[in-house]
Structure 1
Amino acid sequence: MSLRITLAGATGWVGKALVAAIAASDDLELAGAVSRSAAGQDAGEAAGLPHLGVTISATLEEALKAPSHVVIDYTKPNVVKAHALTALAHGRNVVVGTSGLSAEEYAEIDAVALKAQRGVLAAGNFSITATLLRRFALEAARFVPDVEVIDYASAKKPDTPSGTARELAELLSDVRQPATSKAVDELAGVRETRGGALGAREPVQVHSLRMPSFVLSCEAVFGADNERLVIRHDAGSSAAPYVTGTLLAARRVSSFIGLKRGLDAVMD
Structure 2
Amino acid sequence: MDKTSGEFIVGRHPIAEAIKAGREINKIWINEKGKGLDPDLLKVIKEQKINFQFVPKQKIDQLAGSTTHQGMVASVAAHRYATVDELFNKARAVDEQPFFILLDGLEDPHNLGSVLRTADAVGAHGVIVGKNRAVGLTSTVAKASTGAIEHVPVARVTNLARTMEDLKSKGVWIVGTDADQKQSFQEITADVPICIVIGNEGKGMSRLVRDKCDYLVSIPMRGHVTSLNASVAAALLMYEVYRHRLQIGD
Shorter-chain TM-score bucket reads: 0.3 to 0.5
Higher normalized strand content (fraction of residues): 1
TM-score between both structures, scaled by the size of structure 2:
0.34
TM-score between both structures, scaled by the size of structure 1:
0.32
